């Protein structure tokens, strides 16, 4: 029998009780997020559909994704993907990171939609420098006109996980990809309930429960990945074809620091699929297999070295000009080829800690190894890097040069050496060459080239590195085949992979090798860091001892993953 409840204290027996119960509970699942959770500098991520202002018609478009990744970011991304329909537009990220679970969701949405990703910032037309995505430049439909940039752009923390969703994943040498530990945050909340009981046979029985309030009662966090979080991260990376090695790099940086992923490591782990050349920009789509030579896209598949001409005394054809691809200057007349010479160079733009290198420029001829030997004899025990620029030449001479360089333990790279006051058509004019001692000058990776048998010399370096330069190799003739692959084996280059990867071109046309391919083959084993040029890794004999120029330190291939606060 049920009676009305009296609020009199004297009533000892009631059949119905109204109770307010306070419980302190951890609410919901723990949230995985980045260290920026403390106080994010970036606003939540927004998406803008941007069309390039650098063209008149058939202008490329991309989705600019900038800001902090929050729990509702996937919903915003889903909305813009629905808006573009089936169009395959690249997603260009600039983000300090954020919610890891949201990044997983974004990466899967991007992969399912078959979209490409890139690291880059977007500047909208007529926006001030301090507000590159100003609201005034965005139309009512959410679209805008602008352009992208690489220098200083970044994708940190959880952002690389969303970036990994791209079918093609690219970044420039001047952009940053960084990772660190995942922080799992546990929120404690004090929840108030109104609970109604009924007394049945002298016992309380709950008949209703209603939440009437909640208040944050504290929070805790942990950087230790539990079994569930580890399994989720491992499964996601496998799904995106990214090596589990990334987990080790993530866990070696505390949440308040960042491990910068070197370009070579990003390519090796599959986090990125290629590097953008110096004149390619984030948001530029991947070239189709049948793309025209002038198509606005990156990684032109048909980039070949020009038809070759016989160099003096050569046994292997040599291209008349550098490969005309994204990293080569094709404007105006090109300098005439000449037999390779060697110059001892010194950086002309420094006061202290000046670097030195050996500039090797010109066609490889039968007597080139003798010239190289004379230079190395003059240097004695000094280990200076050799910076190559050549169309190639005599294959046997290249073999000899490579073996000499490997025996001496020297670094090789590709670069344009510029002497002061020399005209473009004569970049090594005699008037600028020092009569004694090193010649002052500068060296640049952009628009440099090492083609045909020059690449055989390049692969002998310890280390062997490239920046934004063109490298190319031709298939050997039947008579050259055995010697060619014996040399490959000596230099630790994978001949079997080369056979599979390289197209079946004739010896008269060299194939341009992308940095990602060259790394897989072992032709190179590093990428020149964004803030360096070829040949500047080893300090000259007059340099003062310092952290940058340790006396006995070996040249680094790429910078050690650094922590950035």
Q: DSSP letter for 30, please.
A: P
103 and 216 inside one domain: no
Domain assignment present for 461: yes
381 and 463 inside one domain: yes
Q: Is the C-alpha dihedral spanning 411, 412, 417, 419 positive or negative?
A: positive
176 and 253 inside one domain: yes
Q: What is the pLDDT of residue 184?
A: 64
154 and 261 inside one domain: yes
Q: What is the pLDDT of residue 311?
A: 39
Percent of the chain with pLDDT over 90: 36
* 518-561 tens-digit pLDDT: 888 889 988 876 667 787 654 445 544 443 344 433 333 333 33
* 255-290 tens-digit pLDDT: 788 888 988 889 889 999 988 876 788 999 988 888
Model confidence band, residue 61 (pLDDT cutoffs 50, 70, 90): very high
Kindly report the CATH number assigned to the domain that includes residue 416.
3.90.226.10
Cα 374 versus chain centre, distance? 39
Beta strands 412-414; 386-389: pairing state: parallel
Domain assignment present for 310: no
CA–CA gap between residue 171 and residue 532 (Å, rounded): 17
Residue 463: asked if its preceding bond is cis (omega within 30°), the reply is yes
83 and 129 inside one domain: yes
Q: What is the pLDDT of residue 525?
A: 85
Q: DSSP letter for 432, please.
A: G
Which residue is associated with the tokens 């002309």?
348
Domain assignment present for 302: no
Domain assignment present for 168: yes
Model confidence band, residue 18 (pLDDT cutoffs 50, 70, 90): very low
246 and 196 inside one domain: no
Domain assignment present for 359: yes
Q: To the nearest whole number, what is the mean pLDDT of the chain?
A: 77
Domain assignment present for 63: yes
Q: How many domains does the chain have?
A: 3
Domain housing 116: 46-182+229-276
Radius of gyration for the chain, computed over Cα atoms and rounded to the nearest angstrom: 31
* 471-487 tens-digit pLDDT: 888 777 778 888 888 99
* 380-421 tens-digit pLDDT: 888 889 999 998 999 999 999 999 999 999 999 999 888 888
218 and 84 inside one domain: no
400 and 527 inside one domain: yes
Provide the 3-class DSSP secondary structure of residue 262: coil
Domain assignment present for 83: yes
The pair phi, psi for residue 305, each rounded to 5°, is -75, 150
Mean pLDDT, residues 90-112 taken together: 96
426 and 506 inside one domain: yes
299's tokens: 């990684």
421 and 492 inside one domain: yes
488 and 386 inside one domain: yes
* 29-59 tens-digit pLDDT: 333 443 333 344 689 999 999 999 877 777 8
Q: What is the pLDDT of residue 62?
A: 96
CA–CA gap between residue 458 and residue 78 (Å, rounded): 47
126 and 255 inside one domain: yes
Q: What is the pLDDT of residue 555?
A: 34
Domain assignment present for 345: yes
């Amino acid at each position: 029998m049920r009676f009305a409840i009296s609020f009199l204290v004297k009533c000892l027996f009631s059949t119905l009780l109204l109770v307010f119960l306070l419980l302190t509970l951890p609410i919901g699942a723990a949230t995985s997020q980045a260290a920026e959770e403390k106080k994010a500098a970036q606003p939540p991520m927004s998406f803008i559909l941007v069309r390039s202002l650098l063209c008149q018609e058939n202008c490329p478009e991309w989705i600019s994704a900038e800001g902090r990744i929050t729990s509702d970011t996937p919903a915003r991304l889903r909305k813009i993907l629905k808006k573009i329909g089936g169009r395959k537009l690249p997603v260009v990220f600039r983000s300090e990171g954020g919610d890891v679970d949201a990044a997983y969701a974004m990466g899967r949405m991007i992969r399912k939609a078959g979209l490409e990703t890139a690291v880059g910032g977007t500047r909208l037309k007529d926006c001030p420098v301090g507000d590159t995505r100003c609201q005034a430049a965005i139309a009512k439909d959410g679209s805008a006109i602008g352009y992208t940039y690489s220098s200083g752009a970044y994708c940190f923390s959880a952002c690389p996980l969303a970036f990994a969703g791209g079918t093609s994943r690219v970044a420039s040498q001047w952009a940053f990809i960084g990772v660190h530990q995942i922080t799992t945050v546990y929120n404690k909340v004090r929840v108030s309930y109104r609970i109604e009981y009924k007394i049945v046979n002298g016992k309380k029985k709950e008949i209703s429960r209603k939440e009437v309030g909640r208040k944050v009662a504290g929070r805790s966090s942990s950087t230790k990945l539990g079994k569930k979080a580890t399994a989720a991260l491992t499964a996601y990376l496998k799904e995106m074809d990214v090596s589990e090695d990334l987990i080790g790099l993530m866990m070696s940086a505390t949440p308040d620091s960042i491990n910068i992923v070197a370009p070579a490591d990003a390519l090796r782990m599959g986090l990125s699929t290629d590097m953008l050349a110096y004149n390619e920009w984030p948001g530029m789509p991947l070239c189709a297999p049948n793309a025209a030579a002038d198509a606005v896209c990156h990684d032109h598949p048909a980039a070949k070295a020009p038809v070759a001409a016989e160099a003096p005394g050569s046994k292997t054809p040599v291209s008349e000009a550098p490969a005309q691809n994204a990293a080569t200057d094709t404007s105006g007349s090109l300098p005439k080829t000449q037999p390779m010479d060697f110059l001892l160079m010194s950086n002309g733009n420094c006061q202290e800690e000046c670097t030195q290198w050996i500039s090797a420029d010109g066609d490889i001829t039968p007597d080139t190894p003798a010239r190289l030997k004379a230079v190395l004899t003059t240097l004695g025990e000094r280990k200076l890097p050799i910076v190559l620029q050549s169309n190639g030449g005599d294959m046997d001479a290249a073999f000899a040069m490579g073996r000499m360089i490997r025996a001496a333990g020297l670094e090789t790279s590709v670069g344009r050496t510029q002497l002061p006051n020399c005209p473009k058509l004569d970049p090594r004019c005699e008037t600028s060459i020092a009569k004694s001692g090193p010649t002052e000058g500068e060296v640049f990776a952009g628009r440099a080239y090492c083609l045909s048998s020059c690449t055989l010399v390049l692969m002998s370096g310890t280390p062997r590195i490239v920046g934004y330069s063109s490298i190319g190799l031709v298939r050997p003739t039947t008579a050259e085949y055995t010697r060619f692959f014996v040399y490959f084996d000596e230099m630790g280059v994978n001949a079997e992979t080369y056979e599979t990867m390289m197209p079946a071109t004739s010896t008269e046309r060299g194939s341009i090798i992308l940095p990602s391919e060259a790394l897989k083959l072992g032709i190179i084993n590093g990428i020149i860091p964004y803030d360096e040029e070829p040949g500047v890794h080893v300090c000259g004999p007059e340099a003062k001892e310092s952290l940058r120029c340790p006396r006995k330190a070996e040249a680094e291939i790429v910078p050690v993953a650094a922590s950035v606060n």
